[in-house]
């Protein structure tokens, strides 16, 4: 058997072993050439990195990247604390040492700044809704473009080619046959004088000007120019006993206050141009109710007079101008005064609306910090802003106007059939102040009538009409009449901006169109 398979020849044995080895080697090679699955293959497939789409992969964590919040959430739209805004970068308007008291025209006076800075646009709702709404800042150190402020709510500038700022009498003739006015010395046509409230020097000033009817101006007030535009007689003061009120009445009281009587006794507040304690604003509401009784109103709300009152124009002038000066040096805060002032205006608006009024114009406050009265009350020059105005007072006025506009929005929602306009006194005033030449003025700060001392010709203890005070030859070149009140020329130009240049929101022309049924 062994001889059959394994012959004894050495060569044959060697050949047979070689063939057997070759067969096993070939079989092993073919086995690895066509694998079915083994641990090595399974292991490699389980770790294979299959690429995913970039948009599905989460971003790498970056500790510096926070989830962005909505811009509207970064600050509340309405700050219930009503804090007085200060200038960016300054903790208080009082800490700006670079602002000097304005000097004569031609010198380094803020009134004659060639940069002609542009005040904030009246079309914007209020400083509270725009963090850039502060006391207007300079666009640049030197602005050679002399840019003119734009109309409220419009992107185009006012017409530079027209220098006619007189009231256009033909626009509104016959629209209203009655006007009822409220307010302070900027609107009063004689009530304070008739009740014996004015000090003697103001009474003497009144007799020296044929056109002046309240002793606090060299001529006509805004409400007078309003009546001219409507082709109505000038409004008689309600305290007048020699006239009727066929075409309306004026309830405004110069120097009237929202401050309680007790504050004048405990806080030692100044009465400015009043003898003793001035009348409260509530007096004007009482007078209005008294007139309604005289008109034959048989009920407290005036329902029986509704038809007559709803066709009249109600003009609510400035409220609180004198009070901002009175509280200087007292423990009363401007924030408190601002809230009280707007509350008083609100009560007045509500009173006329409930009586049937449908057409109401409500004035905001002008930048009274630019009046010599408030500039003189600044404890240090550093308390003045870049325009030379009392920064803290103007900041408070901005908050006043902001809150007032929000209140007017509420009244519009409550009385959708009524037309309630906001007269943007702030921007109307600054539009003129920043463009003196365009509006034919030469002096933005100094009063026409006042003391002949100091850089502003103003002395709180020696007001216009007092011994030693003098009057200028041409009041029409002055914005200020006596350092507290405006000149007739300024009143006329502001009235034109209100009635004809879109500085009421909505515009006065829209109110007229609605009244006329156009």
Please choose, from the candidates 232, 206, 104, 151, the residue with its C-alpha nearest in 3D space to the C-alpha of residue 485. 206
Strand 179-182 with 313-316, pairing: parallel
Report the alpha-carbon angle 386-392-396, nearest 5: 120
Q: CA distances (Å), 76 to each of 70, 73, 79, 146, 397, in order?
A: 12, 7, 6, 35, 20
CA distance 367 to 321: 10
Strand 470-471 with 449-450, pairing: antiparallel
Establish whether 485 is a catalytic residue: yes
- Ramachandran angles phi, psi of 481, nearest 5°: -85, -55
Query: Of residues 206, 485, 487, 507, which has the active-site annotation?
Result: 485
Query: Of residues 115, 126, 185, 480, which has the active-site annotation?
Result: 185
DSSP H or E run through 447: strand 443-447
Query: Of residues 482, 487, 496, 507, which has the active-site annotation?
Result: 482
Can you read off the two tokens belonging to residue 136? 């207007």
- Please return the burial class of 362, using the count of CB atoms within 10 Å of its CB with bins 0-12, 13-18 and 19+: buried
Please choose, from the candidates 425, 440, 448, 329, the residue with its C-alpha nearest in 3D space to the C-alpha of residue 368. 425
Strand 313-316 with 248-250, pairing: unpaired
Sequence-ordered strand ranges (E) for 130-250: 179-182, 248-250
Please choose, from the candidates 439, 445, 400, the residue with its C-alpha nearest in 3D space to the C-alpha of residue 422. 400
Establish whether 299 is a catalytic residue: no
CA distance 385 to 399: 17
Establish whether 482 is a catalytic residue: yes
CA distance 303 to 264: 38
- Ramachandran angles phi, psi of 233, nearest 5°: -60, 150
- Ramachandran angles phi, psi of 192, nearest 5°: -60, -35
- How many CA atoms are closer than 13 Å to the CA of 13, on its beta-carbon side? 8
Strand 248-250 with 179-182, pairing: parallel
Catalytic positions: 185, 482, 485
């Amino acid at each position: 058997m062994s001889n059959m398979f394994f012959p004894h020849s050495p060569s044959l044995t060697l050949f047979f072993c070689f063939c057997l080895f070759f067969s096993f080697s070939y079989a092993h090679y073919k086995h690895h050439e066509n694998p079915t699955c083994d641990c090595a293959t399974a292991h490699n497939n389980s770790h294979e990195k299959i690429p995913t789409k970039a948009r599905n992969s989460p971003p790498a964590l970056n500790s510096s990247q926070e989830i962005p919040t909505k811009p509207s959430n970064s600050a509340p739209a309405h700050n219930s604390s009503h804090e007085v805004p200060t200038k960016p970068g300054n903790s208080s308007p009082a800490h700006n040492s670079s602002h000097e008291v304005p000097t004569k025209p031609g010198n380094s006076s803020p009134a004659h700044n060639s940069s002609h800075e542009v005040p904030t646009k009246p079309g914007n709702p209020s400083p509270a809704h725009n963090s850039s709404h502060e006391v207007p800042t300079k666009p640049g150190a030197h602005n050679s473009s002399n840019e003119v402020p734009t109309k409220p709510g419009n992107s185009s500038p006012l017409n530079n080619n027209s220098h006619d700022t007189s009231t256009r009498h033909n626009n509104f003739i016959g629209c209203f046959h009655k006007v009822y006015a409220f307010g302070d010395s900027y609107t009063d046509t004689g009530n304070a004088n008739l009740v014996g409230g004015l000090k003697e020097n103001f009474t003497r000033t009144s007799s020296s000007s044929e056109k002046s009817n309240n002793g606090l101006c060299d001529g006509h007030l805004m409400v007078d120019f309003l009546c001219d535009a409507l082709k109505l007689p000038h409004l008689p003061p309600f305290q007048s006993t020699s006239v009727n009120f066929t075409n309306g009445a004026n309830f405004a009281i110069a120097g009237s206050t929202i401050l309680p009587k007790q504050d004048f006794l405990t806080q030692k507040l100044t009465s400015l141009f009043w003898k003793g304690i001035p009348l409260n604003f509530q007096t004007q509401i009482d007078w209005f109710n008294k007139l309604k009784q005289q008109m034959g109103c048989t009920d407290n709300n005036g329902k029986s007079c509704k038809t007559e009152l709803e066709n009249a124009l109600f003009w609510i002038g400035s409220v609180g101008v004198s009070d901002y000066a009175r509280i200087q040096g007292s423990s009363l805060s401007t924030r408190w005064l601002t809230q009280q002032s707007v509350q008083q205006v609100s009560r007045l608006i509500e009173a006329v609306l409930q009586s049937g009024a449908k057409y109401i114009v409500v004035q905001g406050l002008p930048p009274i910090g630019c009046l010599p009265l408030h500039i003189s009350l600044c404890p240090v020059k550093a308390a003045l802003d870049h325009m030379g105005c009392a920064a803290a007072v103007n900041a408070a006025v901005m908050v006043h106007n902001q809150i007032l506009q929000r209140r007017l929005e509420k009244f519009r929602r409550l009385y959708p059939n009524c037309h309630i306009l906001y007269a943007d006194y702030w921007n109307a005033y600054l539009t003129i102040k920043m463009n003196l030449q365009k509006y034919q003025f030469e002096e933005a700060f100094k009063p026409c009538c006042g003391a002949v001392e100091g850089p502003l010709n103003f002395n709180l203890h020696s007001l216009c009409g007092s011994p030693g005070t003098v009057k200028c030859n041409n009041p029409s070149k002055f914005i200020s009449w006596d350092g507290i009140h405006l000149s007739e020329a300024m009143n006329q130009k502001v009235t034109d901006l209100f009635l004809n240049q879109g500085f009421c929101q909505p515009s006065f022309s829209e109110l007229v169109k609605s009244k006329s049924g156009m």
